[in-house]
Amino acid sequence: MAGRIAIAVACLLCLALVAWGVWPTDRDEPSDATTSVAASPVSNRPIVVPADGYVGSSSCRECHEREYDTWHASYHRSMTQLPTPEAVVGDFEGTEIQIHDLKYAFYRDGDEFRVKIYDVNKPDEPPDDKPIVLTTGSHHFQAYWLPSGKTRVLDVFPALYRIDDGRWMPLAAQFLHPPDFDHAFFARSGAWNITCNRCHATHSRPRIQDGHHMDTQVSEFGISCEACHGPAGQHVQNMSAGVKEMAIVHPDKLSPIRSAQVCGSCHGTMDYKTQEDFEHWTEHGFAYRPGEDLFAHRSAVDSGERQYWADGMLRVSGREYNGLAASPCFDHADASQQMTCLSCHQMHPHGDDSRPLKEWANDQLKLTMDSNRPGPHNDQACTQCHQQYADEAALTAHTFHEAASTGSRCYNCHMPHTTWGVMKAMRSHTISSPHIEESLAPVGRGNACNLCHLDKTLGWAADQLHERYGHERPELQSDQENIAAALLWALSGDAGQRAVISWNMGWQPAREISGDAWMVPALAQLLEDPYPVVRSTAYRSLGKIAGFAQLEYDFVGDLPQRAAARQAARAIWESQQREPNPTTLLEQDGSLDQKTFDRLVGRRNNRDVFLEE
């Protein structure tokens, strides 16, 4: 189906590239969502044209000032922006990066951000000199868009800026895909116009004129008030005229299913229901409006190895609705106990929330959603319904961990970090209980026990689940009984498993419980992994271990540099003291069981892994 093809073709760009923008036809008038660059005609990028009852966030501000201010502080708002000095976070002060045969030189001309593109094989030719016309993202990464020269069709810039590291990196290195994947995929024209802007701008309309030209319009850059509340034109008119009819949607007052669908319209993996629905999108945008039935014109995609584990659990970020919808908490017979996105998250913090807005904006959790323990700053997400576990004795009896420990935090067992996106593992949004079968072939997903107790074997976890919860103990192979599951995944797993476990090796609760010195040989080995994402994640986790914070390494560097970093890490490790532990391949003298280590490396699963984040 055309809609499914369009999603699959550009979905990778939509994740960490997230968001792109648009502004008024021939006038580029300022908006509260973004500041205008210039009051001159714009023809080389999408533009903002409010339509179909959408009037823009500035119309909300007069009556809803606090809600406006909190939204303005969110990463939803800044998902798509014009490249103003306030919006651009990348280093444009004479920085250069080379990707394959092209060198890119960033520079700033007044308030304009530009890039010169040199072909290193043609040193005598002048460079292309192009402006940055839109930005995407402001949380983990920021990506940039160039005019294609074909009406408002955009080209993606092949590098993005990683904010926490303060560095440029190839766009292709952000995604978990085969290392020999055709990098031209990431340079296609029009991916933003037809796919990415489905969720990273408000009321987007691609407006395809032919196969190569588009007059793309949106009602507002970024994810604005009307993305969740629906078009506000009638509401503003009614309020101005003193008419009591609200004519606006409040997601928290919808039924649980319809409330979750508001979020799921973007945070879900969806297909167009019919060819007509796809064609309607290409010209007029989505027919869906918040509060309506999302599935009147769309259908959920609930399978496929690029987005799901083999047992049907979601494995990529940005699709949290599908994970929630697969949870028994969402399918509760009692609507008053039915879990929705707003059970834990909030789009606007309450007035008594003392957290800085930047802290709230990180994941937009409610104030009381961070631990199980009673008190003003604790996680009451699960105890909203499971009130029996608000009692510490009952909680301890259920978890077999101290009430104040990380082992008694509900989400560590029921929402472990098995989802992947933006170069890190994230919590699953399918509420489930750990079991050993999920960690065996053909699924191979880490179970919560072994993702926390990284130094323990699958056999150990099977024993714990059998003794404590009566799980039937499966038959396991010798390595699964005797070698830490984390090492099996890191050394012999496929790229998806290697990425997830290398991230969990840097997760502080797991490091505190499991120790971390034994991880060094495995993480050092992953510095030479074929997949850039795995290399990057392993390096970040390695840097959290004492003695390795200053290790010089570039995860997109050449092969000799990576090999030298692995050898340097091993040399540091060899000089340190360690306790023996056979499950982590440490001999009685603390040395590595190199023979078994090499055997596991030799069994690495080299199948191609391609995740559509």
* Residue 196 DSSP label: I
> How far from chain centre, in Å, is Cα 413?
21
Three-state SS sequence of 400-465: CCCCCCHHHCHHHHHCCEEEEECCEEEECCCCCCCCHHHHCCCCCCCCHHHHHCCCCEHHHHHHHH
Residues 202 and 335 in one domain: no
Q: How many CB atoms lie within 10 A of CB 491?
A: 24
Number of H helices, E strands in the chain: 23, 18
Residue 49 maps to a domain: yes
Residue 466 pLDDT class (50, 70, 90 cuts):
very high
Residues 278-303: what's their mean pLDDT? 95
C-alpha dihedral over 339, 340, 345, 350, to 10 degrees?
Answer: -90
pLDDT over 90 for what percent of the chain? Answer: 83
CA distances from 99 to 119, 285, 415, 565 (A): 10, 35, 38, 22
Same domain, yes or no: 41 and 190: yes
Tell me how far apart the alpha carbons of residues 534 and 531 are, in angstroms, rounded to a whole number. 5
Residue 95 inside a domain? The answer is no
Q: Element (H or E) spanning 539, and its range?
A: helix 532-542
Q: Which of 326, 354, 382 is the last residue of a domain?
A: 354
- Do 540 and 462 fall into the same domain? yes
For the ranges 33-47, 189-203, 285-299, the maximum mean pLDDT occurs at 285-299
Contacts 24+ apart (CB under 8 A), 361-367: 361/73, 361/74, 361/75, 362/139, 364/74
Q: Which of 221, 241, 261 is the last residue of a domain?
A: 241
Mean pLDDT of the chain: 90
Chain center to CA of 83: 23
pLDDT at residue 376 is higher than 50: no
- Phi and psi for 452 in degrees, rounded to 5? -105, -50
Q: Tell me whether residue 29 is exposed, middle or buried, using C-beta atoms within 10 angstroms of its C-beta: 0 to 12, 13 to 18, 19 or more.
A: exposed
**pLDDT band with cut points at 50, 70 and 90 for residue 89:** very high
pLDDT at 379: 64
Q: Give the separation between CA 286 and CA 50, rounded to whole angstroms.
A: 14
Residue with tokens 């391609």: 610
Amino acid (one-letter) located at 102: L
Tell me, yes or no, whether 65 lies in a domain. Answer: yes
Which residue shows structure tokens 């926490």?
164
State residue 33's pLDDT score. 38
CB-based contacts of 69, cutoff 8 Å, min separation 6? none
Q: Are residues 183 and 254 in the same domain?
A: no
The mean pLDDT of 159-168, rounded to a whole number, is: 95
More confident residue, 377 or 136: 136
Q: Name the one residue in this structure whose structure tokens are 């030209």.
A: 213
Instruction: In whole angstroms, give the CA distance from residue 392 to residue 75.
Output: 36
Please say if the pLDDT value at position 25 is more than 60. no
**Domain co-membership, 582 together with 508:** yes
Position 2 scores a pLDDT of: 40
- 112-138 average pLDDT score: 96
Nearest Cα to Cα of residue 224 among 268, 282, 266: 266
What pLDDT score was predicted for residue 6?
A: 38
- Over range 48-53, report the average pLDDT: 96
Count of domains in the chain? 3
Rounded CA separation 330/340 (Å): 7
In sequence order, which residues have a C-beta less than 8 Å from that of residue 269 and are 6 or more positions away? 7, 300, 301, 302, 307, 314, 316, 319, 322
**What domain range includes position 548?**
456-602
Encoding tokens for residue 330? 């969402």
Same domain, 40 and 178: yes
- Please compute the mean of the pLDDT values over residues 182-193 and round it to a whole number: 74
- Locate the DSSP E strands across 180-310: 201-202, 217-218, 220-221, 270-272, 298-300
Question: Is residue 548 located within the same domain as residue 590?
Answer: yes
Tokens encoding 164: 């926490």
Identify the domain boundary among 223, 241, 259.
Answer: 241
> Is beta strand 141-147 parallel, antiparallel or unpaired with respect to 154-156?
antiparallel
Instruction: Classify residue 107: in a domain, yes or no.
Output: no
φ and ψ of 102, to 5 deg:
-115, 135
Would you say residue 197 lies in a domain?
A: yes
Neighbours of 272 (CB within 10 A): 22
| pLDDT band at residue 26 using 50, 70 and 90 as cut-offs | very low
What digits encode the pLDDT tens for the residues 138-159?
999 999 999 999 999 999 999 9
Output the pLDDT for position 31: 43
What is residue 361's predicted lDDT score, i.e. its pLDDT? Answer: 95
Q: Amino acid letter at 470?
A: G
How many angstroms separate the CA atoms of 258 and 580, rounded? 55
- Concatenated DSSP letters of 72-111: HTSTTGGGEE---TTT--S--SS-EEEETTEEEEEEEETT
Q: What is the edge-to-edge ordering of all strands in the sheet holding 112-119?
A: 96-99, 102-109, 112-119, 128-131
Query: Is residue 151 included in any domain, yes or no?
Result: yes
pLDDT reported for residue 186: 64
In a domain, 67, yes or no: yes
Distances (CA, A) of 432 to 391, 410, 449: 22, 10, 13
Residue 168 shares a structural domain with residue 253:
no
User: At a CB cut-off of 8 Å and minimum separation 6, what does 319 contact?
Assistant: 267, 268, 269, 307
Shared domain check, 532 and 597 = yes
* Residue 130 CB neighbours (<10 A): 18
Report if residue 72 sits inside a domain: yes
Residues 6 or more apart in contact with residue 30 via CB below 8 angstroms: 36
Is the predicted pLDDT of residue 37 greater than 60, yes or no? no
* pLDDT band at 181; cut points 50, 70, 90: confident
Give the least confident one: 25-39, 327-341, 381-395.
25-39
Percent pLDDT > 70 in the chain is: 91
Contacts of 397 (CB under 8 A, 6+ apart): none
Residue 210 neighbours by CB under 8 Å, 6+ apart: none
Q: Please write the tens of the pLDDT for every residue from 536-546.
A: 999 999 999 99
**Looking at the DSSP assignment, which residues form a beta bridge with residue 214?**
208
Q: Is the pLDDT of residue 12 over 50?
A: no
State the burial class of residue 476 (Cβ atoms within 10 Å of its Cβ: 0-12, 13-18, 19+).
Answer: middle
Distance CA 276, CA 576 (A): 65
3-state class of 247 per DSSP?
coil
CA 352 – CA 354 distance, rounded (Å): 6
List pLDDT tens digits, range 600-610. 999 999 999 99
Q: Residues 481, 337: one domain?
A: no
Q: What is the DSSP string of 269-283?
A: -EEESSHHHHHHHHH
| Same domain, yes or no: 266 and 226 | no
pLDDT reported for residue 378: 60
Are 436 and 447 a contacting pair, CB within 8 Å?
yes
Tens digit of pLDDT for each residue in 74-84? 999 999 999 99
The bridge status of strand 96-99 relative to strand 141-147 is: unpaired
Distance CA 230, CA 182 (A): 39
pLDDT at 121 over 70: yes
Please classify residue 512 by burial: count the beta carbons closer than 10 Å to its beta carbon, then call 0-12 exposed, 13-18 middle and 19+ buried: exposed
Together in a domain, 479 and 542: yes
* Token pair for 419: 């989802």
Q: Residue 371 has what pLDDT?
A: 57
Which of 208-217, 285-294, 346-355, 376-385 has the highest mean predicted lDDT (pLDDT)?
285-294
Cβ contact 113:119 at 8 Å: no
What six digits make up the tokens of 552? 């010089």
At 370 the pLDDT is 65
Report the pLDDT averaged over residues 281-310.
95
Query: SS3 of 134, please?
Result: strand
